[in-house]
């Protein structure tokens, strides 16, 4: 089926074997009128089976996805695959190269650009291609994120609470197979238009992740990402490399932040001082930290008070904070 898009590629999604290549996205600049942004893509297909669509670098300052998928893309061979794997290790490549969450080309957040439009800024053109050319091919969608520079996270595999109970149970089952310590059901408090939210809406089994942050980036988090994505591919029989699904030391715990108040926003701007480390349990009414006011250095610090009870699954990573920044997220054991 021809897709109505500005993007061109030599990749043939129906061709057996392994292909590496690019999505060519028109990018006209001051110094290069007919330039193209090359978004790398790997397709490995062998026989009949489901299709997994894997993304890294949706946000540019989250390098767990690019690292994991660049390695997987080099390693994966057709004989390991039953079905098809399509992977894009740097979906928002300009942001990955700039080390920024948002695209430096148009200032947009790839993870708020879905479904995108044919005639849009660069970010929206890529989102539109994913929506119309790639999502229809996929049974399983994985979008690897971390907290980047802004938030520390306990390593978790996540999803929204979707209305379709069968889809919800399947997503939690797949998330548990990943083997990260936490499965995290979250709400969109930071706007709509997310890649995983759109894929969930199409009924796809969709997994996001928050595997640490820029300052937690290291061997432990990368192992969770690499083992996890392979485990999910093995769960669906797409990866048949002879390795069993790795059992974690402790079964993943399913938790949720279902209330708006579980996402604690800074009441004023200043330096956020946390009082607790992640995994601490706090009660509603408890002071979880305080804001030091830079413009009133001799005034008392302003308390940041929890309005719900729960465990800290994330907290702000960069101390300098603006009013309204999310400084902590609280979760409770979840029913699903
Ligand atoms: Zn992200």
CA 36 to ligand 1 center in whole angstroms: 25
Confirm whether 196 is domain-assigned: yes
For residue 253, what are the β-bridge partners?
A: 182
Show the tokens assigned to 307: 């309005």
Q: How confident is the model at residue 249 (pLDDT cuts 50, 70, 90)?
A: confident
Domain check: are 249 and 284 in the same one? no
Mean pLDDT throughout 96-105? 98
Going by C-beta distance under 8 Å and a sequence separation of 6 or more, which residues neighbour residue 14?
A: 45
Boundary (domain end) residue, out of 256, 279, 312: 256
Same domain membership, residue 293 and residue 222: no
- Does residue 153 surpass a pLDDT of 70? yes
- Higher pLDDT: 248 or 51? It is 51
How far is the centre of ligand 1, averaged over its atoms, from the C-alpha of 107 (Å)?
15
User: Would the pLDDT of 81 be above 80?
Assistant: yes
How many whole angstroms from 109 Cα to the centroid of ligand 1? 9
- Rounded distance from Cα 151 to ligand 1 centre (Å): 10
Cα 25 to middle of ligand 1, angstroms: 22
- pLDDT at residue 147 is higher than 70: yes
Closest alpha carbon to 25 in 12, 41, 1, 14? 41
Instruction: Decide if 310 is inside a domain.
Output: yes
Are residues 182 and 90 part of one domain? yes
Report the separation in Å between the CA atom of 275 and the middle of ligand 1, taken as the mean of its atom positions.
Answer: 25
- Give the distance (Å) from ligand 1 centre to CA of residue 209: 8
Q: Please tell me the distance between residue 297's alpha carbon and the centre of ligand 1 in angstroms.
A: 34
What distance in angstroms lies between residue 61's CA and the mean position of ligand 1's atoms? 8
Note whether residue 146 is domain-resident.
yes
Q: Which two tokens stand for residue 204?
A: 């796809």
Distance in Å, CA 183 to ligand 1 centroid: 16
199 and 66 share one domain? yes
Residue 275: domain span: 260-333
* Ligand 1: centre distance to CA 299 (Å): 36
Distance 198 CA to ligand 1 centre (A): 15
- Same domain for 128 and 56, yes or no, is yes
Per the listing, tokens 């090359």 go with 38
Residues 210 and 268 reside in one and the same domain: no
Cα distances from 172 to residues 99, 252, 336, in angstroms, run 31, 10, 8
Q: Which long-range CB contacts under 8 A does 215-218 form with residues at least 24 apart?
A: 215/149, 215/152, 215/317, 216/146, 216/147, 216/152, 216/153, 217/63, 217/64, 217/146
Residue 323 buriedness (CB in 10 A; 0-12 / 13-18 / 19+): exposed
**Mean pLDDT, the chain, as a whole number?**
97
Same domain, 183 and 96: yes
Distance CA 120, CA 209 (A): 27
The alpha carbon of 57 and the centre of ligand 1 are apart by a number of angstroms equal to 8
Strands 310-316 and 326-333: antiparallel
CA distances from 60 to 111, 169, 181 (A): 11, 30, 24
Considering the domain boundaries, does residue 329 fall inside one?
Answer: yes
pLDDT at 247: 87
Ligand 1 centre to CA of 91 (Å) is 12
Say what the pLDDT of residue 190 is: 86
Whether residues 51 and 145 fall in one domain: yes
Tell whether the model's pLDDT for residue 1 goes beyond 70.
no
Q: Which two tokens stand for residue 157?
A: 């595999």
Cα(159) to ligand 1 centroid in Å equals 13
Q: Does residue 267 contact residue 321 with C-beta atoms inside 8 Å?
A: no
Instruction: For tokens 């996402």, name the residue.
Output: 263
Q: Which pLDDT tens digit goes with each residue over 106-120?
A: 999 999 999 999 999
| Contact by Cβ (8 Å): 206, 159 | yes
Average pLDDT over residues 295-310: 98
Ramachandran sector of residue 242 (left: φ over 0; alpha: ψ -120 to 50; beta: rest)? left
17 CA to middle of ligand 1, Å?
A: 31
Would you say residue 16 has pLDDT above 90? yes
225-248 pLDDT tens trace: 999 999 999 999 999 999 999 988
pLDDT at 150: 94
Domain shared by 76 and 93, yes or no:
yes
- The answer to whether residue 238 is domain-embedded is yes
Do residue 31 and residue 178 come from a single domain?
A: yes
Average pLDDT over every residue of 75-94: 98
CATH of the domain at 95: 3.40.630.10
Quote the tokens at residue 109.
Answer: 């957040």
On the question of pLDDT at 132 being above 80, the answer is: yes
pLDDT at position 336 is: 78
Q: What's the CA-to-centroid distance between 48 and ligand 1, angstroms? A: 32
- Spacing, Cα 146 to ligand 1 middle (Å): 5
- Which of 229, 256, 283 delimits the end of a domain? 256
* pLDDT tens per residue across span 278-289: 999 999 999 999
User: Does 82 share its domain with 111?
Assistant: yes
- pLDDT, tens only, 177-225: 999 999 999 999 988 999 999 999 999 999 999 999 999 999 999 999 9
Tokens representing residue 138 in the block? 């996929």
Quick one: tokens of 319?
Answer: 């101390």
Ligand 1 centre to CA of 197 (Å) is 13
CATH of the domain at 287: 2.40.50.100
């Amino acid at each position: 089926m021809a897709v109505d898009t500005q993007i061109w590629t030599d990749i043939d999604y129906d061709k057996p074997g392994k292909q590496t290549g690019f999505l060519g996205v028109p990018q006209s600049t001051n110094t290069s009128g007919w330039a193209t942004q090359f978004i790398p893509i790997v397709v490995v297909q062998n026989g009949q089976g489901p299709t997994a669509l894997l993304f890294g670098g949706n946000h540019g300052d989250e390098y767990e996805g690019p690292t994991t998928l660049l390695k997987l893309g080099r390693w994966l061979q057709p004989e390991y695959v039953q079905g098809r794997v399509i992977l894009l290790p740097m979906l928002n490549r300009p942001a990955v190269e700039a080390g920024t969450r948002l695209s430096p080309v148009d200032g947009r957040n790839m993870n708020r650009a879905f479904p995108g439009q044919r005639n849009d800024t660069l970010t929206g053109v890529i989102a539109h291609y994913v929506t119309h050319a790639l999502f229809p091919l996929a049974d399983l969608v994985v979008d690897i994120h971390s907290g980047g520079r802004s938030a520390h996270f306990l390593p978790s595999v996540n999803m929204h609470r979707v209305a379709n109970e069968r889809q919800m149970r399947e997503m939690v089952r797949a998330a548990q197979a990943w083997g990260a310590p936490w499965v995290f059901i979250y709400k969109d408090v930071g706007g709509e238009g997310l890649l995983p939210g759109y894929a969930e809406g199409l009924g796809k089994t969709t997994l996001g992740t928050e595997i640490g942050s820029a300052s937690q980036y290291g061997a432990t988090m990368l192992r969770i990402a690499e083992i996890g994505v392979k485990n999910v591919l093995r769960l669906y029989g797409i990866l048949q490399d002879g390795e069993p699904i790795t059992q974690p030391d402790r079964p993943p715990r399913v938790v949720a932040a279902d209330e708006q108040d579980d996402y604690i926003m800074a009441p004023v701007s200043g330096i956020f001082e946390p009082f607790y480390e992640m995994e601490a349990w706090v009660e509603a009414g408890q002071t979880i930290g305080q804001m030091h006011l830079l413009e009133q250095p001799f005034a008392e610090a302003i308390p940041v008070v929890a309005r719900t009870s729960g465990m800290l699954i994330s907290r702000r990573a960069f101390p300098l904070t603006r009013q309204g920044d999310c400084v902590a997220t609280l979760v409770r054991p979840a029913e699903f």
